[in-house]
């Protein structure tokens, strides 16, 4: 299984490469990728440096161009595809049908992966992208149970990549527009969910309030940890009860499923977190490298180590992790 | 007056909620009496909702067809289990009615074989995507709800010949889909033992902020806006842009009246202001029109002008 790690900037890319990633993925400094955050991502010069660094050490580089261009932005997406081809990256991670059509016609030799934002959850959807654009890999949305991942792996025309660790989207990726409903900007249109410019924090007599474009996402009592107000991870009131009505602040962690993911035919494990620090990337990459090596050596004897889990818990959202949709009761 | 512009048709989108079999039949019997031109039928949210199977939907389809309506069969948005794929195949293979794809799976099943429609959850955000899908057999597409007039205007200038455009003009907005059932979660039930509690909520289950503001609506695995999107004020735009179809989303009360108000407004019997005023009593938890006006979806931009 290939370990695919996040590179939000050059130090993170190096951290991933140095700690055992088989591939890193990056984006450019604009809305053409789904981590369009201030201070993050690569310009052409940094991308060249990063690609050189990775290549010298036998690590592949993928570029994510995985948002959905509208006519006014089309030229930017086209340019990102061309730029990636010129840089000689190993693969593009794309979501939009139009961008795929362009990339596959203009750069027929460039390897294409279907992004998680492409929202393909079964072999027929994958067939569409395979037949039309010759994709070589698909990243599955985080909505499938382990049994369903197996079914897709068995019937998919191309190898599959799944998320192993990181912030968890509760909604099927590529088709969640909660963020633009509240702020005007969504992962699809802008490359960010619950964007920072819409966030406000305020100390009030009732506690620390976090708001997104003025909508109260959560209120934290003194001493209660207050996370970033991602709108699906706030506390709301339903039928008189106030609770995490959609999802708790938590991260996905599938370390304990590794032998099963391997046996159902998963080809690559993706680590989320281009917005996180190089230290996060280093720690998480190292744990997963160890785990994958141990699993591939002897899947029957594989056991998650306490130190691995402790390291991952520490860098998790809300310091807790879940198996997410892989584990049926979560659903 | 808009003598050179065309009058759009009216459609009724798929029923997004789970109602009793009786209520569903009664609802469509009464829809058959309205001025609606096109009716989308079928379950698009959750495959566990089986009070109506395909044969029941086909029965309703026949009833509506006999009343002169065009019928389109809608399909599931988020496909996970193999059984869902089999059910989808059956609908896509039907020889009587056009099918609305709400996922690329359905697009793939029909591509090159028969003409199809795409619903708002199929991501057509630019002209090149539209062209690819038209080549595959797309005959009508619903504008994804987060896109604006500005985007649609450009796409219409470059629109391939023959394809029709539909816009979601009235109803709570579908915003997200998950593997998790939020209705079951609100009752502390796992999805596998959900006890069909969504039957209790004919217009979904209200989610409020901690300051009691109506914010979102939980509808099983789907999340919707609490506010009703209402684009009645944009009717002149729709005519000018030659939009082919305007979609109204079913709700438990007043759907027939909403259809009637839009119809009267389209035919010039009442103006936008009158229509908007009449619609107020059928909009739940406030109104919004932000997406069409290139703002946050929950915002009221043009609607505010009459308040």
Full DSSP string of A38-92: TT-SB-HHHHHHHHHHHHHTT-EEEEEE-S---GGGHHHHHHHHHHHHHHT-SEE
Boundary (domain end) residue, out of A215, A243, A271: A243
Is residue B211 included in any domain, yes or no?
A: no
Q: Which domain holds residue B124?
A: 9-173+229-283
B180 assigned to some structural domain? no
- Residue of A174, A219, A245 with shortest CB distance to B207: A245
Residue B265 confidence class, pLDDT cut points 50, 70, 90: very high
Same domain, A149 and A283: yes
Verify whether the Cβ–Cβ distance A219 to B176 is below 8 Å. no
What residues in A contact B129, CB-CB < 8 Å?
A: 96-98, 101
H or E stretch including B27?
helix B21-31
B129 within domain boundaries: yes
State pLDDT tens for residues B27-73.
999 999 999 999 999 999 999 999 999 999 999 999 999 999 999 99
Measured from the Cβ of residue B301, the count of other Cβ atoms closer than 10 Å reads: 16
The whole-angstrom distance between B6's CA and the closest CA on chain A is: 25
What's the maximum distance between 2 C-alpha atoms anywhere in chain B? Answer: 57
What was the pLDDT predicted at B307?
43
Q: Do B127 and A177 touch (CB under 8 A)?
A: no
ipTM over 0.90: yes
Same domain, A68 and A161: yes
Give the pLDDT of residue A320. Answer: 82
- Of A220, A243, A266, the last residue of a domain is A243
Please check the confidence at residue B2 and state whether its pLDDT lies above 70. Answer: no
Domain enclosing residue A305, as ranges:
2-168+250-330
pLDDT over 90 percentage in chain A:
92
- Flag if B127 and A70 touch (Cβ within 8 Å): no
pLDDT the model gives residue A192 = 96
How confident is the model at residue B286, as a pLDDT? 95
In a domain, B264, yes or no: yes
Domain match, A53 and A195 both: no
Q: Distance (Å) from the C-alpha of residue A195 to the closest C-alpha of chain B?
A: 12
In this complex, which of A170, A181, A232 lies closest to B296 when CB atoms are compared?
Answer: A181
Q: Do A70 and B147 touch (CB under 8 A)?
A: yes
B129/A96 Cβ within 8 A: yes
B298 falls within a domain: no
CATH number of the CATH domain containing B249? 3.20.20.70
Q: What percent of chain A has pLDDT over 70?
A: 100
Residues A120 and A188 placed together within one structural domain of the fold: no
* A117: closest CA of chain B, how far (Å): 10
Mean pLDDT of B230-248: 96
Q: pLDDT of B186-195, one tens digit each?
A: 999 999 999 9
**Is B225–A122 a contact, with Cβ atoms under 8 angstroms apart?**
no
Q: Are residues A182 and A164 in the same domain?
A: no
Is A173 part of a structural domain of the chain?
no
Whether the per-residue pLDDT at B4 is higher than 70: the answer is no
Model confidence band, residue B306 (pLDDT cutoffs 50, 70, 90): very low
Do both A148 and A131 map to the same domain? Answer: yes
What pLDDT, on the 0 to 100 scale, is given for residue A210?
Answer: 97
**Number of domains chain A contains:** 2
pLDDT at position B305, please? 55
Whether residues A233 and A106 fall in one domain: no
Q: What pLDDT score does B1 carry?
A: 42
Q: Which of A124, A115, A67 is nearest to A91 (CA)?
A: A115
Tell me: do A227 and A260 sit in the same domain: no
Q: Could A119 and B213 be called an inter-chain contact, meaning their C-beta atoms sit closer than 8 Å?
A: no
> What value does the mean pLDDT take over residues B262-288?
95
A26 and A161 inside one domain:
yes
| Residue B304, pLDDT score | 66
- The residue of A124, A193, A202, A326 whose CB has the most chain B CBs within 10 angstroms, and thus the best one to mutate to test that interface, is A124
A200-225 per-position pLDDT tens digit: 999 999 999 999 999 999 999 988 88
In a domain, B206, yes or no: no
- Is B301 a domain residue? no
Mean pLDDT over B192-204 rounds to 97
Say whether A184 and B297 touch across the interface (CB within 8 A): yes
A29 and A69 share a domain?
yes
Average pLDDT over residues B75-91: 97
**Do A112 and A258 belong together in one domain?**
yes
Residues B140-162, mean pLDDT to the nearest whole number: 95
**pLDDT, mean over chain B:** 96
Q: What average pLDDT does range A240-247 have in this prediction?
A: 96
Q: Across chain B, where does the E strand assignment appear?
A: 9-12, 38-41, 70-74, 98-101, 116-118, 138-142, 164-177, 205-208, 214-219, 222-230, 245-248, 287-288
A126 domain residue, yes or no:
yes
- Do both A230 and A262 map to the same domain? no
Average pLDDT over residues A23-37: 97
Any domain includes A108: yes
Which residues of A are less than 8 Å from B81 in CB distance? 148
Residues listed for chain B: 307
Q: In terms of residues, how long is chain A?
A: 331
Q: What is the mean pLDDT of chain A?
A: 96
Chain A residues with CB-CB distance to B180 below 8 A: 170, 247, 325, 330-331
Minimal-distance CA residue of chain A relative to B229:
A181
């Amino acid at each position: 299984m290939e370990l695919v790690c996040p590179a939000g900037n050059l130090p993170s890319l190096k951290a991933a490469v140095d700690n055992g990633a088989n591939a890193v993925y990056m984006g450019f400094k604009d809305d053409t990728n789904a981590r369009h955050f201030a201070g993050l991502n690569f310009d052409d010069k940094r991308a060249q440096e990063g690609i050189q660094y990775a290549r010298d050490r036998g690590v592949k580089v993928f570029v994510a161009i995985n948002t959905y261009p509208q006519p006014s932005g089309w030229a930017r997406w086209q340019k990102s595809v061309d730029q990636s081809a010129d840089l000689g990256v190993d693969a593009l991670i794309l979501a939009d049908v139009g961008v795929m059509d362009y990339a596959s016609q203009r750069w027929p030799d460039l390897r294409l992966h279907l992004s998680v934002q492409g929202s393909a959850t079964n072999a027929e959807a994958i067939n569409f992208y395979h037949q039309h654009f010759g994709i070589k890999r698909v990243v599955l949305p985080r909505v499938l149970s382990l049994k369903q991942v197996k079914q897709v792996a068995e019937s998919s025309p191309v190898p599959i990549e799944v998320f192993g660790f990181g912030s968890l989207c509760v909604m099927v990726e590529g088709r969640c527009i909660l963020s633009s409903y509240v702020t005007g900007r969504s992962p699809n249109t802008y490359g960010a969910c619950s964007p920072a410019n819409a966030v406000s924090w305020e100390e009030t007599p009732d506690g620390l309030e976090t708001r997104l474009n003025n909508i109260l996402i959560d209120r934290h009592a003194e001493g209660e940890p207050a996370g970033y107000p991602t709108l699906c991870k706030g506390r709301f009131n339903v039928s008189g009860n106030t609770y995490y009505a959609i999802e708790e602040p938590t991260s996905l962690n599938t370390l304990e499923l590794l032998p099963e993911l391997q046996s159902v035919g998963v080809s690559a494990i993706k680590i989320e977190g281009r917005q996180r620090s190089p230290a996060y990337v280093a720690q998480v990459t190292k744990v997963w490298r160890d785990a994958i090596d141990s699993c591939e050596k002897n899947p029957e004897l594989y056991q998650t180590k306490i130190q691995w889990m402790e390291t991952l818990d520490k860098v998790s959202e809300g310091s807790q992790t879940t198996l997410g949709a892989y584990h049926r009761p979560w659903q | 007056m808009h003598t050179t512009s065309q009058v759009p048709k009216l459609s009724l989108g798929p029923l997004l909620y789970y109602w009793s079999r009786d209520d569903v039949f009664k609802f469509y019997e009464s829809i058959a009496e309205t001025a609606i031109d096109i009716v989308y039928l079928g379950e698009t949210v959750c495959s566990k909702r089986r009070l109506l199977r395909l044969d029941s939907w086909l029965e309703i389809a026949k009833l509506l067809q006999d009343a002169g309506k065009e019928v389109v069969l809608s399909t599931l948005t988020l496909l996970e289990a193999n059984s869902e794929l089999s059910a989808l195949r059956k609908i896509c293979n039907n020889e009587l009615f056009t099918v609305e794809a709400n996922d690329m799976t359905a697009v793939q099943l029909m591509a090159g074989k028969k003409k199809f429609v795409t619903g708002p959850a199929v991501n057509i955000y630019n002209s090149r995507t539209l062209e690819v899908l038209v080549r595959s057999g797309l005959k009508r597409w619903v504008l994804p709800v987060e896109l604006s007039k500005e985007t649609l205007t450009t796409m219409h200038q470059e629109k391939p010949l023959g394809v029709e455009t539909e816009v979601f003009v009235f109803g709570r907005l579908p915003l997200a889909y998950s593997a998790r059932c939020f209705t079951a979660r609100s009752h502390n039930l796992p999805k596998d033992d959900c006890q069909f509690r969504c039957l209790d909520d004919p217009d979904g289950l209200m989610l409020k902020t901690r300051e009691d503001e109506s914010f979102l609506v939980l509808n099983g695995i789907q999340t919707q806006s609490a506010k009703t999107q209402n684009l009645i004020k944009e009717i002149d735009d729709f005519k000018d842009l030659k939009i082919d179809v305007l979609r109204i989303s079913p709700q438990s009360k007043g759907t027939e009246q909403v259809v009637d108000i839009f119809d009267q407004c389209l035919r010039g019997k009442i103006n936008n202001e009158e229509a908007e005023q009449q619609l107020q009593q059928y909009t739940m938890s406030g109104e919004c029109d932000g997406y069409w006006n290139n703002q946050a979806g929950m915002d009221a931009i043009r609607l505010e002008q009459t308040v």
